[in-house]
């Protein structure tokens, strides 16, 4: 889709309707431009891609929630690198991975951190192919970033 040409906007608009949605992703991919297009009359700052590097500078510094004219809300967030995960516990983060949820109560220990813990149902699910290992790796990386491990 494109914020510039309007291609794919109709489809996006109908999937946003009645939902609470957050746009996240690397800086410069067009999140704020998209938000602008969906909210005529607002005028968020978007930034120009730097000619040299093909990358731009930051303009969105905090997450902003907007109410959509069609119903529903849209959150424009700054780049993933600065997305705050403060005050979340490891358990909260695990809950955020919806495919983990069916397994979360099946670990041997109820304070399982899903790392090298004995009898971890999450790691077992990866072995069995029910959870994607790349998603789990990302979970562990986020735990590290949050200084929880």
Ligand X SMILES: Nc1nc2c(ncn2[C@@H]2O[C@H](COP(=O)(O)OP(=O)(O)O)[C@@H](O)[C@H]2O)c(=O)[nH]1
User: In the complex, which residues of this chain contact ligand X (CB under 6 A)?
Assistant: 2-4, 27-33, 46-49, 56, 59-60
Q: Rounded to whole angstroms, what are the CA distances from 103 to 66, 89, 123, 132, 138? A: 35, 18, 10, 13, 17
Question: Which residue of 60, 94, 122, 139 would you call a contact of Mg ion, by CB under 5 A?
Answer: 60
Q: Is-contact 110 121, C-beta < 8 A?
A: no
Shortest distance, position 74 Cβ to Zn ion, whole Å: 34
Shortest distance, position 9 Cβ to ligand X, whole Å: 10
Shortest distance, position 38 Cβ to ligand X, whole Å: 12
Angle at 137 between CA 132 and CA 141, to 5 degrees: 150
Footprint on this chain of Mg ion (rule: CB under 5 A): 31-32, 60
């Amino acid at each position: 889709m494109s914020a510039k040409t309007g291609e794919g906007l109709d489809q996006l608009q109908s999937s946003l309707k009645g939902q609470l949605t957050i746009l996240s992703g690397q800086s410069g991919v067009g999140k704020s431009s998209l938000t602008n297009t969906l909210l005529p009359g607002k005028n968020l700052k978007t930034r120009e891609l730097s000619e040299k590097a093909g990358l731009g500078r930051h303009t969105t510094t905090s997450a902003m929630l907007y109410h959509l004219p069609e119903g529903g809300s849209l959150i424009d967030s700054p780049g993933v690198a600065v997305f705050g995960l403060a005050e979340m516990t490891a358990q909260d983060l695990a809950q955020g991975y919806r495919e983990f949820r069916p397994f979360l109560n099946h670990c041997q220990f109820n304070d399982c951190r899903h790392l090298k813990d004995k009898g971890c149902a999450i790691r077992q699910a990866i072995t069995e192919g029910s959870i994607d290992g790349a998603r789990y790796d990302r979970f562990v990386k986020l735990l590290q970033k949050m200084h929880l491990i």
